[in-house]
Structure 1
């Protein structure tokens, strides 16, 4: 198995379709996970449909642990989560995927081995499988359509793992090769527009000139302008003046 960063093992219990196994592998690799364990796949193993669906994540399938039953997949684990859309009348802590992966990260950081069980496509995990888990992961889905595709459930859980593993800003600006404009550049832009708008008679009536200029200055300060934005706005005004002079 891979010797990458510490992470939970994702255990696919009796998966039925090779395509779903491949989709799960692809979802795991999207978020840097590569510990897959497969319990008694219905269509045997290896499975070419799984390989085709995995696309660039085929290595996960090559390195996957193949076992005959759920107990064997969990032998070396200290803590186990079971994903299920339905409560089975068992007394266990129930986590959202986000909180479950936060708990998993803490336990793995303390040296424990953690696994997450995912059930077969048709009916999900059986009670015997869930009974082996320490806690349940329950996704807050539409109660009238609670069934998640195997690959989707793996993707959702893997995403939450990645969010807990690295610090991801909820909002960020992509600068696309430019930088935020400096105050002096905003000042020059404001002066350029005030001069040209004044020439065009924009500041009318005279008694409102100062308040109109103040409103413009406030507008420039509110805009998150980049240096490229400032250059473009200068160009817009220069071109409009040229066009007017040609007319």
Structure 2
């Protein structure tokens, strides 16, 4: 939705995010922020260690107030999932059991489909130190796990919630390669404008004895024009480059003491050094 931040639509839907016995208020706040980033709004806490509400969570949420203010607290996981029709449990390690295991992409697609049918869904996230118990996983319908480094599979709560929230957002996009904004359209430069750039650069270089020796000048000009014609410049880009050249030509070059044309006896040997600018 176009317009200023205050005019943009605030997405607030999707599955309930359920944190089981979270320990740090800062982590809860960062979870709320991750949810708000990708349009999920319902946060449920099961027996948070430091109680609720939490000033540390509020501060870490970075103004995701609509998530923090609506947060629900439950004494048990059974109470937290009681009204839900379908629940995923997140885990980074293999579990014994008979539950289906899904990737985040598949899980988000399934949640989106159930959401469109009016079902209430949720995603369980475990404790910071050791995740969910087998008994807690048993309360879920299926498992979702992340493709992480096998030797370093631990994710903190906010990271895990952000990954699932991101996949949730993508599952509702018609084109998951779309971006929220694009580069500003600019008119391509005309050949006349490009030739004007060639002429200005070549004149400036010629004045500084760049084309040395003269027998190589035609070939050097060909190479220079080949390089400058590759980027497909736009009109504003041509204007920027010509403005730079004009500025460089406006002032004398300042040579370090003991160097420059006055002390080298005339023309410089190397390309790029040269006479008075």
| Aligned position for 2:61 | 54
Matched, 1:139 2:146: yes
- Measured in 2, the distance between the counterparts of 1:18 and 1:74 equals 22
TM-score scaled by structure 2? 0.71
Contact 1:203 1:212 in 2 (8 A): no
Q: 1:43 aligns with which of 50, 53, 57?
A: 50
Mapping for residues 120-159 of structure 1, pairs under 5 Å: 120-159=127-166
Count of matched residue positions in the alignment of Structure 1 and Structure 2:
242
User: Helix, strand or coil for the counterpart of 2:168?
Assistant: helix
> Residues 188 and 112 from structure 1, CA distance in 2 versus in 1: closer, same or farther, beyond 3 angstroms?
farther
| Aligned position for 1:233 | 241
Question: Any idea what the Cα deviations from partners look like across 1:55-99, whole Å, max 9, x if unmatched?
Answer: 412331221122232233223333221111111112233233233
- Measured in 1, the distance between the counterparts of 2:199 and 2:107 equals 55
User: Helix, strand or coil for the counterpart of 2:52?
Assistant: coil
Relative contact order: is structure 1 or structure 2 higher (C-alpha 8 Å, sep ≥ 6)?
1
> Residues 28 and 172 from structure 1, CA distance in 2 versus in 1: closer, same or farther, beyond 3 angstroms?
closer
Structure 1 stretches lacking a partner, 5+ long: none
Runs of 4 or more consecutive aligned structure 1 residues displaced over 6 Å after TM superposition: 170-174
TM-score scaled by structure 1? 0.78
- Following superposition, the deviation at residue 205 of structure 1 comes to 6.2
- Following superposition, the deviation at residue 35 of structure 1 comes to 1.0
Question: Could you say which structure has the higher helix fraction?
Answer: 1
Larger Rg: 2
| Aligned position for 2:272 | none
Matched, 1:202 2:208: no
